Homo-oligomer: A and B are copies of this chain.
Amino acid sequence: MGFTIKDVAERAGVSPATVSRVLNGQQRYIRPETRERVLRAVQELGYLPDRRAQALRRRRTGVIGVLTPDISNPFFSLLVRGVEHEARAHGYSVLICDSQNAPEGEDRAIDALLRERVDGVIVTSVRADNTKLLKFLSKGIALVVADRPLTHLDVPTVTVDNVRDGYKLTKHLLALGYERLAFIQGPPDTATALGRWTGYLQALREHDLEPPKGAVVSGDFTFEGGYRAAKRLLRRLGAFDAIVAANDLMALGALYALRERGIAVPDELGLAGFDDIPMASWVHPRLTTVAIPAYRIGKEAMKLLCACVRTDADKVRHRVLPTRLVVGESCRPSRR
């Protein structure tokens, strides 16, 4: 069954300590012949060290946790992929905990990560003010925030400037001649959703405009949510000439709803989102959106986490990555 280090030691005719030394690279104080015998025994038995026992003794697990709101959202699966690649390069395993966009799920996930004794955590929180995250810090577990900044905690953070992005995209639509921009909101307490909304309002204000009455609806960052939100919007058809969704997945859901109703995009209504997930360019018309470097956010967050673990000093600072406007065909090049 499961062989232990003792089995290997016995087969090689050495002590468990020697086996451990051979396997842990302190190879200078070992006779080549012994080394050989041990490795052969390992090979023959197909011995693989028990990670749990190792973690217990070493007092570090070699596992970092990722707390993500929705792994089925391509944006986050890309972000997690960035974390994973960088983590692997540093010898860490990655434990993914999906909160399913629910505060309770997030609390459960935090407990799970604490029980697993992860060496560090990368968090994309549902709530911008989740105080339970303090538990990590109080237990000396490194914490890095990715994509969604926290309001109450000053920890290393990798984000983009969501307000700027919301502003940027809205300005773009206004420049194209759209004037009555409906808006599909993200989850209520989510930092990115709030930032984009704020930027949208700023841009409107600069043009002495307001959100069209009854054309601001709530969503939850999912395709389904975008679909339902768009259906609600369609009851006010005529009150707006374009729809801005707080992320691409909802924009795609809206596109589906519009198609169902036979409303042509961009001829009858403009449509835009945020993230630039791959699917945004797979559909027709391709989505106008703001490209957020999800993979790179994950990668940078993991780099920061490594820096945290190494240097106790907090010379690790926030990073704000650049974004890029992606002009698809979901908005008319120029209105009249």
A contact set with B: CB distance below 8 Å: 1-2, 46, 48-53, 55-56, 61, 71-72, 74, 77, 81, 93, 95-96, 111-112, 114-117, 135, 139-140, 223, 252, 255-256, 259, 278-279, 282-284
A48 CB to closest chain B CB (Å) equals 5
6 other contacts beyond A52-B53, A52-B117, A71-B77, with CB at 8 A cut-off?
A50-B115, A52-B55, A72-B77, A77-B77, A223-B278, A259-B284
Residues of B within 8 A of A55 (CB): 52
Partner of A2 from B50, B139, B259, B282 at Cβ < 8 Å: B139
Residues of B within 8 A of A50 (CB): 56, 115, 117
Partner of A96 from B72, B96, B116, B117 at Cβ < 8 Å: B96
Copies in the complex: 2
Given the interface pairs A1-B139, A93-B112, A283-B283, the reply to whether A52 lies near B48 with Cβ below 8 Å is: no
A295 CB to closest chain B CB (Å) equals 12
A327 CB to closest chain B CB (Å) equals 17
A230 CB to closest chain B CB (Å) equals 13
A-B contact pairs, 5 of them (CB 8 A): A48-B114, A48-B115, A53-B56, A72-B77, A223-B282
